[in-house]
Every structure is written in structure tokens, then in C-alpha cells.
């Protein structure tokens, strides 16, 4: 157990405390989730790109609608683009529309 300082009143409190016993403020915990990580489901992405990658469905799924439309028209860049996307998704280096990585959790 470590001691931290309350950001409201500045008194020492336990880092296990959910609220400050001195001023009663709620202590915000650092988010467990990585802000660079997409909330899109990795497995869904893998399956969509494997079965429907040629139609750009995985791009629509992650919010990249413009890319999805282009892939739909070009049939996934004649399959090459879809294949590259599929490999990137499997490797966990594919990003969604917000630039966040889609990785399996
Ligand atoms: Zn306090």
C-alpha cells in the first residue's frame, strides 16, 4: 500500500482509497484501457476481412467508410488490398478510423 496526495485537499491518503477521507472527493483512477487501443473487436475484424475483405466490409466496420467504398468498387483492390489489410489485422497493426490499433485483448 502506498500513499498518494489528494488532488483536491492535498492530504496524504491511501492509494487504495476510492474517495478521500479528508474532503470526500472521489479519486479518479487512471484508466485501465490503453487510449491508443481501438474498442473494435479484433476477432470480428479478422473474420470480416477474411470472408468479406474483398467488399471492404472490415473497413466499414472500423469506421473507414471512404476506404470501404473504394474497396467495394475495386473488389478490395483486386484482392491485394484486402489481403494486405487482412495480414495487418492479424498482426495487430491495423488501425481504425480514429487511428487506434485494433489488437486482440
Ligand atoms: Zn481530499
Range of the domain at 1: 1-30
Asked if pLDDT for residue 4 goes beyond 70, the answer is yes
Find the Cα–Cα–Cα–Cα dihedral 70, 75, 79, 84, rounded to 10°.
Answer: 30
Same domain (yes/no): 49, 25: no
Same domain (yes/no): 23, 38: no
User: Cα(8) to centroid of ligand 1, in Å?
Assistant: 5
Asked if pLDDT for residue 5 goes beyond 80, the answer is yes
Same domain (yes/no): 11, 55: no
87 three-state secondary structure? helix
Residue 28's pLDDT band, with cuts at 50, 70 and 90, is low
30 or 57: whose pLDDT is higher? 57
Per-chain mean pLDDT for the chain:
90
User: Cα(11) to centroid of ligand 1, in Å?
Assistant: 6
Q: What is the pLDDT of residue 32?
A: 58
Asked if pLDDT for residue 74 goes beyond 80, the answer is yes
Q: Does the pTM exceed 0.95?
A: no
Cβ–Cβ < 8 Å for 76, 53: yes
Amino acid at each position: 500500500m502506498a500513499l498518494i496526495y489528494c488532488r483536491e485537499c492535498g492530504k496524504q491518503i491511501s492509494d487504495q482509497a476510492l474517495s478521500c477521507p479528508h474532503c470526500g472527493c472521489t479519486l479518479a483512477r487512471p484508466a485501465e484501457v490503453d487510449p491508443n487501443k481501438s474498442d473494435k473487436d479484433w476477432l470480428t475484424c479478422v473474420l470480416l476481412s477474411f470472408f468479406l475483405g474483398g467488399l471492404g466490409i472490415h473497413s466499414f466496420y472500423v469506421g473507414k467508410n471512404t476506404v470501404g467504398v473504394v474497396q467495394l468498387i475495386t473488389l478490395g483492390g483486386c484482392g491485394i488490398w484486402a489481403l494486405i489489410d487482412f495480414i495487418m489485422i492479424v498482426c495487430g497493426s491495423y488501425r481504425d478510423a480514429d487511428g487506434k490499433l485494433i489488437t486482440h485483448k
